[in-house]
Amino acid sequence: MRRTQGMTLVEVLVAMLIMALLAALSYRALDTLLRSERHMQDDASALRQPIRFFSRLEADLLGYGQRPPRRGSVAPAPWLGDPQATAWTRQPMGTGETWLRVEYRWRQGRIERLTQNEDQPLPLEQRQGDTVLEQVESLKLRYLDREGHWLEHWPATDAPRALEVRLRLQGQGELRRVFALI
């Protein structure tokens, strides 16, 4: 018996089955890849806010300075701190700027940054402030003294050698950063 050119029905069905399996496997691989990309973008987005917060805090810390007393007055305390708030004097960073009192504090699930002009002190409720980080479950600050001990409260004598910041963010766990100051 002589065979004519072409494919039998069984050969066509086998080829279609192979193509269907390859398409299904390709779809699953593409779906997994797209889901992974979405998760990576979500994770990166979630870390942008804490990174911005730490960068802003670092810029303020770099400006730390002990303001000399004016005639007939006492110099303000260079640094104050407790486990959930810290404040210090930042020297002018450019022309036209004045000495600023910078304060970071944790309140109602967010970290706020408050500033005030050192020449015109204001009551706490009138200070200029903004939220720098949201969805914060807890904030813990510690201060390194000259003898190498970590303290939870900082007296108003001078600046600490380092500041440790521990943040617990909703859905992200704890972040820790230590800033060397002196």
> Which segments of 63-75 does DSSP mark as H helices, in order?
none
Q: 94: which residues sit within 8 A by CB, 6+ positions away?
A: none
User: Is pLDDT above 80 for 126?
Assistant: no
pLDDT score recorded for residue 69: 61
pLDDT score recorded for residue 122: 65
Sorted by where each begins, the domain ranges of the chain are 57-180
Report the pLDDT averaged over residues 55-66. 86
pLDDT higher for 125 or 8?
8
64 to each of 59, 67, 102, 129, how far by Cα in Å? 9, 9, 9, 18
pLDDT score recorded for residue 64: 83
Q: Considering only 14-28, 74-88, 95-109, which range has the smallest mean pLDDT? A: 74-88
Tokens, residue 40:
């990576």
User: Is pLDDT above 90 for 96?
Assistant: no
**Residue 124 burial (10 A CB sphere; 0-12, 13-18, 19+):** exposed
